């Protein structure tokens, strides 16, 4: 039997990302340039270690440049070349680093910004059809939470965005938990133990008694949680 095992179809994710690399610009005469480089390395040892380096050959005459020689010289100085940028060259032998096109120069402001590029979270809404029972915790860091039932005493909702409760809210609600001061809390009946927006909170004891048992919204105003009736 020569049957092939069924190929499991999996989609491959391709993601476009941008990285920051140092462009090392080679100059003629090459010997002087390498001497300069040695000087620099002597003054700042370890500067190139582990850093992505792109070799920029745009200032050299591509026809005459001994690219493999330059890469070898740099390798002697523990500089690994990730890619080569050169305007006049169409292709490079496979033993050399690949050609790079379309690079842009950039300035680096903060070291951390390079290591962890912050992708903005994709906001989405979590809709809960049932009641939230005592002891249950709903954590939804990116977006709003909508609850169609009641939120029981001793339960909590933590949302990156706003919180909407179409029943009685008897538990604790934390809106804008990821640092969103514009988030709000809405509920059909306010019996909440605690209402919080962006870390600012108000406990049941600090709430105006007139807001209890009513449809209310809570929002942040000058660092103070305001609880106002909706009608």
Q: Which residues bind another protein (CB under 8 A)?
A: 130-136, 149-150, 152-155, 168, 170
- Token pair listed for 24: 């090392």
- What span, in angstroms and rounded, lies between the C-alpha atoms of 228 and 231? 9
Q: Which is nearer to another protein, 121 or 135 (CB)?
A: 135
**Nearer to another protein among residue 137 and residue 210 (C-beta):** 137
| Least distance in angstroms from the C-beta of 129 to another protein | 12
Three-state DSSP at 71 gives helix
* Burial class for 45, CB neighbours closer than 10 Å (0-12, 13-18, 19+): exposed
> 130 and 146 in contact (C-beta within 8 Å)?
no
Of the pair 122, 130, the CB lying nearest another protein is at: 130
Q: Which is nearer to another protein, 142 or 153 (CB)?
A: 153
Minimum gap (Å) between residue 173 Cβ and another protein: 17
Q: Report DSSP state, residue 132.
A: B
What phi, psi does 142 have (nearest 5°)? -115, 85
End-to-end distance of the chain based on CA atoms, in angstroms?
Answer: 76
Q: How far is the CB of 169 from another protein (least distance, A)?
A: 12
Our CB check for another protein shows the closer of 7 and 130 to be: 130
Minimal distance in Å, beta carbon 155 to another protein? Answer: 8
At closest approach, how far in Å is the CB of 128 from another protein?
12
Q: Do residues 37 and 77 make contact, with C-beta atoms less than 8 angstroms apart?
A: yes
């Amino acid at each position: 039997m020569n049957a092939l095992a069924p190929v499991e179809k999996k989609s491959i994710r391709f993601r476009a990302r941008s990285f920051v690399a140092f462009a090392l610009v080679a100059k003629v005469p090459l010997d002087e340039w390498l001497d300069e480089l040695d000087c620099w390395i002597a003054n700042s040892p370890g500067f190139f270690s582990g850093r992505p380096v792109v070799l920029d050959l745009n200032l050299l005459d591509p026809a005459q440049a001994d690219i493999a020689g330059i890469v070898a010289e740099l390798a002697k100085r523990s500089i690994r070349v990730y890619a080569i940028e050169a305007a006049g060259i169409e292709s490079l032998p496979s033993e050399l680093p690949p050609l790079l096109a379309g690079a842009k120069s950039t300035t680096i402001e903060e070291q951390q910004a390079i290591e962890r590029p912050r992708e903005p979270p994709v906001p989405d809404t979590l809709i809960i059809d049932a009641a939230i029972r005592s002891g249950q915790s709903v954590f939804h860091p990116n977006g709003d939470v909508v609850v169609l039932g009641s939120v029981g005493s001793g339960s909590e909702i933590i949302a990156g965005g706003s919180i909407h409760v179409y029943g009685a809210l008897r538990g604790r609600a934390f809106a804008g938990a990821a640092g969103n001061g514009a988030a709000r809390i809405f509920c059909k009946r306010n019996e909440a133990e605690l209402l919080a927006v962006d870390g600012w909170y108000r406990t049941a004891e600090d709430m105006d008694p007139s807001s209890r048992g009513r449809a209310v919204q809570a929002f942040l105003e000058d660092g103070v949680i305001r609880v106002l009736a909706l009608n």
